Amino acid sequence: MDVFEDARRLMFQNRRVTDGNEYTVPSGEHYPYQWLWDSCFHAIVLAGFDPEYGKNEIRSLLSRQFKNGMVPHIIYWVPGALHQFNWGVEGTSSITQPPMLAYAVEQLHRTSPDTGFLEEVYPALASYYKFLIEKRDPLGRNLIAIINPDESGEDNSPRFDAPLGVMPSISYGDHLELRKKLAERNGPRVATVESTAPHTFWVFDVLFNAVLVENLRALRNIAHSIKHEEGERYAKTHSDLIRKAMRESLWHNNTYWSLNGENDKPLMTYTWAQFVMPLFAGLYSQEEAESVVKGELMNPESFYGEWGLRTVSKKELSYQSDSYASDGFSWRGPSWMVPHWFMYRGLMRYGFHAEADKIRDKSVRLLENAGFRECFNPESGIGHGAHGFTWGALILDMQNNQFSDQANNDKNVLTSF
């Protein structure tokens, strides 16, 4: 059995073309549309063996960008599709997802240099990041707010229980209803913090802001490649400002915690994103990174499960190894491939090569054991949720040494504040 070959095959199986728009569905049976950050991961994987398709996937994603710059988190390409994942606005959802777009475009350009493609997509990318910076920073403190848990990509993570006002025991179905209502309240007008009145949910999320810092770094490189000096300056300025604001407002007791925008309270739940995402975005000093990697991420009593990274620390009361409900997935403990990939990249960035190898090997073992499932029990390795789920294909990227070297070249970690 060759899971790498299976991964490539799955990427072909999940390809779709609607009205000339090419994209990849995360799972044919379960997720038959185009999702924002999934498409970015697809492009990162495709960069390794089919960059032209990766470029088209990005083009399809950008083709439904809103006038105000927002890129929606789902495009319901299939006519008549039920919008069971949040309410839509003319064929799309009305919220966004972690902005991995510039990173994906940069990755495509690395493996298949194409300045024409950069020039083509740059205006759309720039307007998306400008939207986030201008419309999602309600207090002008250089921290970007999400207005629905789904915008974090971790739809039912327990770190959002307090801002949602729910108990950890809430059922998957009730939780989903609540999130849909939130999206519905935004209505067809879309999804700026100003338009979300009264505010019922806004969170300065570590995952989203870390992704933004790293993507503004990528956007700056793209602007540089096409000699767009003003764009280069803008991306650098805001990447620095957000990085600094994260340290000033989100950093307590040696950890970055997401912040509830309603009451300014840190959301002190031990979820993977609090620890992995600053590693991915280079927000730790080397010493801090070492302490997080040893003390939390590679610690079997915290995040490091026998079969995979727990998305919630074992120390948390809300940790559930097997919380995949019959009707849904869960970010309350099970392992997912995207956190593995972010961790792999973060470990490489800080030079933890042996640990990075371990995460890659765990990922391969999980897929060999359970197949390309949506998520996995970190204690038993049993797979849950969707079948034929594309996130497992990220092992192709983890396997590719070229990218590892690149991660090293990008080493640009925090040295001081």
Residue 72 interacts with ligand GLC (CB under 6 A): yes or no? no
Helix (H) or strand (E) holding 396: helix 394-399
- Beta carbon nearer to ligand GLC, 155 or 296: 155
Amino acid at 247: R
If we measure between CA atoms, which residue out of 30, 53, 155, 32 comes closest to residue 104? 53
- Residues 126-165, mask of contacts with ligand GLC (x by CB under 6 A): ---------------------------x-x----------
Which one of 26, 149, 305, 346 is in contact with ligand GLC (CB under 6 A)?
26
DSSP 340-375: HHHHHHHHHHTT-HHHHHHHHHHHHHHHHHH-S-SE
Q: Give residue 277's region: left, alpha or beta (phi > 0; psi -120 to 50).
A: alpha
Which one of 23, 31, 284, 342 is in contact with ligand GLC (CB under 6 A)?
31
Q: Residue 98 Cβ, how far from ligand GLC at the closest point, in Å?
A: 8
Nearest-10 crossing angle of helices 272-280, 337-349? 40
Q: Residue 393 Cβ, how far from ligand GLC at the closest point, in Å?
A: 12
Cβ atoms of 242 and 142 closer than 8 Å: yes
Residue 341 interacts with ligand GLC (CB under 6 A): yes or no? no
- Beta carbon nearer to ligand GLC, 31 or 280: 31
Q: Where are the alpha helices (H) located in 47-171, listed in sequence order?
A: 51-62, 101-111, 115-135, 161-164
Cβ atoms of 275 and 298 closer than 8 Å: no
Q: In whole angstroms, give the CA distance from residue 151 to residue 263.
A: 20
Q: Residue 301 Cβ, how far from ligand GLC at the closest point, in Å?
A: 26
Which one of 10, 14, 23, 35 is in contact with ligand GLC (CB under 6 A)?
35
Residues contacting residue 128 through CB under 8 Å, at least 6 positions apart: 65, 69, 70, 71, 99, 101
Q: Residue 384 Cβ, how far from ligand GLC at the closest point, in Å?
A: 12
Strand-strand pairing, 92-93 and 88-89 = antiparallel
Residues in the chain: 417
- Beta carbon nearer to ligand GLC, 202 or 391: 391
Residue 57 interacts with ligand GLC (CB under 6 A): yes or no? no
- Beta carbon nearer to ligand GLC, 38 or 57: 38
- Beta carbon nearer to ligand GLC, 355 or 374: 374
Q: Determine the straight-line distance between the first and last CA of the chain, rounded to whole angstroms.
A: 49
If we measure between CA atoms, which residue out of 114, 122, 123, 101 comes closest to residue 51? 114
- Beta carbon nearer to ligand GLC, 24 or 239: 24
How many angstroms separate the Cα of 88 from the Cα of each of 254, 318, 404? Answer: 40, 31, 39
Q: In whole angstroms, give the CA distance from residue 246 to residue 251.
A: 7
Q: Residue 203 Cβ, how far from ligand GLC at the closest point, in Å?
A: 16
- Beta carbon nearer to ligand GLC, 172 or 307: 172
Strand partners, 89: 92
Q: Write out the binding residues for ligand GLC, residues 278-337 only, by CB under 6 A.
A: 329
- Beta carbon nearer to ligand GLC, 153 or 333: 153
Find the part of the chain contacting ligand GLC (CB under 6 A) among 29-37, 204-212, 352-360, 403-411: 29-37
How many chain residues interact with ligand GLC (CB under 6 A)? 8
Find the part of the chain contacting ligand GLC (CB under 6 A) among 34-42, 60-68, 166-174, 258-266: 34-42
E strands, 149-246, are 203-204
Residue 342 interacts with ligand GLC (CB under 6 A): yes or no? no
Which one of 6, 38, 151, 316 is in contact with ligand GLC (CB under 6 A)?
38
Helix (H) or strand (E) holding 384: strand 383-384
Residue 172 interacts with ligand GLC (CB under 6 A): yes or no? no
If we measure between CA atoms, which residue out of 397, 394, 415, 416 comes closest to residue 407? 397
Q: Residue 411 Cβ, how far from ligand GLC at the closest point, in Å?
A: 28
Find the part of the chain contacting ligand GLC (CB under 6 A) among 30-38, 171-179, 200-208, 395-403: 30-38
List of residues contacting ligand GLC (CB under 6 A): 26, 31, 35, 37-38, 153, 155, 329
